[in-house]
Amino acid sequence: MRVGLALPQYDYSVPGESPLRWETVLRYATRAEELGFDSLWLSDHLFLDIAKYGGSPEPRGAYEPLVTLAALAGAVSRPRLGTLVMCEALRPATVLAKALATLDRISGGRLDVGLGAGWYEPDYLAVGMEMPPPGQRIERLAEAVQVCRAMLRPDGAPVEFDGRFHRARGARSLPPPLQTPNPPVFVGGKGDRLLRLVAEHADGWNTCWTWTPDAYRERVVVLEQECERVGRDPAGVWRSLGLYALCGEDHADLARRFEALRAATPAGVLDGVTLDEWRRGRLVGTVDEVREQVEMWADLGVETLILGVGALPFQVGSEADVDLLAAALIGAGGGATAPARPG
């Protein structure tokens, strides 16, 4: 099992830091490399509020992912760098593909490309666009995935694409990316239409941040059915899963760390939530319990586990929590390798 870390990215991500300091993002990235994490991840919003999670509705600042990952590429040499996930509507697919090809080259071929249909309406409003209905967002995403995968081929050949929402007229990425056959392009989400898109066009599938094994297994069945429909081996779909995670050396230590996380989390998010309630759908437990859960996820076909070490996306409760999870799941001698590829 490869293990990645969702880096702090927002002005709520680290207690006492608003705005979040670049030095803090860099510190967590370099520490993650020292601990043996295989990959580092950022999401994609112009800004983000946490009302959806029970917090306040004011927008919080965010580091732009492509620029930030490019900076991190020069600061860490081993972990892979990924987007979880890029919002399709915020960039023309050809322009995005060009940026991604450059980022893959800057990073020495360590890029994993996550694309999504978008869910946060203020992102759309901020760029002067009404948020499309779900079906249209999936259609737009399918076109963007096709354009990006074509333009991320290592030969840099010109791409022609005539879609409803995305077009390419001899577009090409020169210099091309380093990875072959291309930096893996995966899709984030969970609905039936999204899984159909994965089977038809993407290298992989991601979903996050709270999942029970039974609910995840049901989605895997849908993915396998869609792969069968298009004649694709489901084993060729790279599966990554993001989960909120918290580990304790024993049950007393776990309870202490949960209370510390509560204190570090913005008001409203964990108010009135017990540890037993918060365990459900998350990677939470003692060292032995967390290891057992990871083995179960591996049995369900998860190849890359991405840890959200907080109670909000891209929040980090404490460095000590990251350290203990790394000791439990990675140990000595961890190292990044390329993700499983379709084939």
Distance in angstroms (rounded) separating the CA atoms of residues 45 and 124: 10
Q: Is the CB of residue 238 less than 8 Å from the CB of residue 340? A: yes
Phi/psi region, residue 235 (left: phi>0; alpha: psi -120 to 50; beta: rest), is: alpha
Distance in angstroms (rounded) separating the CA atoms of residues 291 and 275: 18
82-103, pLDDT tens digit by residue?
999 999 999 999 999 999 999 9
Angle between helices 192-201 and 134-151 (to 10 degrees): 20
Please tell me the predicted confidence (pLDDT) of residue 250.
98
Q: How far apart are the first and last CA of the chain?
A: 19
Read off the tokens for 22. Answer: 């670049």
334: pLDDT strictly greater than 60: no
187: pLDDT strictly greater than 50: yes
3: pLDDT strictly greater than 80: yes
343: pLDDT strictly greater than 90: no
336: pLDDT strictly greater than 90: no
Please tell me the predicted confidence (pLDDT) of residue 294.
97
**DSSP 8-state assignment for residue 131:** P
Residues of the chain with pLDDT > 70, as a percent, come to 96
Distance in angstroms (rounded) separating the CA atoms of residues 266 and 269: 6
Higher pLDDT, 338 or 86: 86
Single-letter code of the amino acid located at 213: P
Please tell me the predicted confidence (pLDDT) of residue 332.
37
Residues 260-277 have a mean pLDDT of 97
Distance in angstroms (rounded) separating the CA atoms of residues 304 and 281: 17
Please tell me the predicted confidence (pLDDT) of residue 308.
98
- Would you list the domain boundaries of the chain? 2-84+208-329, 91-181
Residues 143-165 have a mean pLDDT of 97
Q: Which helix (H) or strand (E) holds 185?
A: strand 185-188
Name, in order, each residue with C-beta under 8 angstroms of 259's C-beta and a sequence gap of 6 or more. none
Torsions phi, psi for 145 (to 5 deg): -60, -45
24-69, pLDDT tens digit by residue?
999 999 999 999 999 999 999 999 999 999 999 999 999 999 999 9
Q: Which residues pair with 113 in a beta bridge?
A: 185
Distance in angstroms (rounded) separating the CA atoms of residues 309 and 123: 25
Q: Is the CB of residue 22 less than 8 Å from the CB of residue 11? A: no
Distance in angstroms (rounded) separating the CA atoms of residues 23 and 332: 26
Distance in angstroms (rounded) separating the CA atoms of residues 42 and 65: 6
Residue whose C-alpha is closest to residue 112's, from 207, 240, 244, 208 = 240
Q: Is the CB of residue 343 less than 8 Å from the CB of residue 204? A: no
Please tell me the predicted confidence (pLDDT) of residue 331.
64
277-324, pLDDT tens digit by residue?
999 999 999 999 999 999 999 999 999 999 999 999 999 999 999 999
244: pLDDT strictly greater than 50: yes
342: pLDDT strictly greater than 60: no
Please tell me the predicted confidence (pLDDT) of residue 52.
96
104-151, pLDDT tens digit by residue?
999 999 999 999 999 999 999 999 999 999 999 999 999 999 999 999
Percent of the chain as helix, strand, coil, to the nearest 5:
40, 20, 40
CATH topology of domain 2-84+208-329: TIM Barrel (3.20.20)
Matching residue, tokens 């023309």: 92
